[in-house]
Amino acid sequence: MPYRDLTRTVETDMPVFPGDPPVTVEPHATHEEDGYRVSAVTCGSHTGTHVDAPSHTEAEGRTIDAVDIDRFARDAVLADCRGRSPRSPIGPDALPATDADLVVVRTGWAEYWGEPEYFDHPYLTPEVAEFCVEQGYDVAIDALSVDPTPTDDADPEGVPAHHALLGQEHLIFENLSGLGDLPRRFEFLAFPLKLADGDGAPVRAVARFE
């Protein structure tokens, strides 16, 4: 059964959400000096390909270490939302109604990783977030956020899609890559670091399919 890695590599100066901690991966011990190798990694809890816990936006929401482990293995359906303009909304008519556990929204914005355009991704409307709740979907996306990302040229108000999903205990996975030619249905595996009282955590996201 084939596997596909959907994860961004964690590396120094990788893109982060505006205002989040910068990422560094630096030598701490080396073979030459110490006889072994250890790296010092500094990053935020929403670095790279990651999952948002309900406590990310909800004061009383569950933390990542309190989420049942089976929530990170999902029956996924792929929604192809490519071809949209920068900062365009994605509405309920763009997503399928199925018996899946998670909808993976492919915007095509993964190709802009590392470029300024990556911050101008399409986003989910509150209505489509509510649709996902009604369908019982967790949500994954190949963009920086399910809501519009603030930049010097755009200052969106709030994170309504996050509130709609996380407020109902539906998880959000962001910054996926490698969605390319995946089949419409596949198994999605994305297990996070078990951070104490964590509002989210990096994941190693993988697709498994026939």
The predicted structure's pLDDT at residue 154: 85
Give Cα separations from 159 to 48, 58, 86 (angstroms): 19, 11, 18
For 179, the 3-state DSSP assignment is coil
Residue 92 CB neighbour total at 10 angstroms:
16
pLDDT of res. 1: 78
pLDDT of residue 30: 98
- Model pLDDT, residue 51: 98
Contact 45, 195 (CB under 8 A): yes
Residue 31 — φ and ψ, nearest 5°? Answer: -60, -40
DSSP labels for 44-91? -TT-SSEEE-GGGT-TTPPPGGGS-GGGGEEEEEEEE--SPPTT-EE-
Contact 50, 56 (CB under 8 A): no
Q: What's the confidence (pLDDT) of residue 18?
A: 96
Which pLDDT belongs to residue 68? 97
Rg value, the chain, Cα: 17
d(CA 68, CA 200): 14
Q: Where along the chain do its domains lie?
A: 3-208
Report d(CA 204, CA 182) in Å as an integer: 17
Full pLDDT tens readout for the chain, 210 residues: 799 999 999 999 999 999 999 999 999 999 999 999 999 999 999 999 999 999 999 999 999 999 999 999 999 999 999 999 999 999 999 999 999 999 999 999 999 999 999 999 999 999 999 999 999 999 999 999 999 999 988 888 899 999 999 999 999 999 999 998 999 999 999 999 999 999 999 999 999 998
Residue with tokens 């911050």: 119
Angle in degrees, CA 27, 33, 39, rounded to 5: 20
Please tell me the predicted confidence (pLDDT) of residue 157.
84
- Predicted pLDDT of residue 176: 98
**What's the pTM?**
0.97
3-state secondary structure of 33: helix
The answer to whether the beta carbons of residues 202 and 49 sit under 8 Å apart is yes
The CATH classification number of 3-208 equals 3.50.30.50
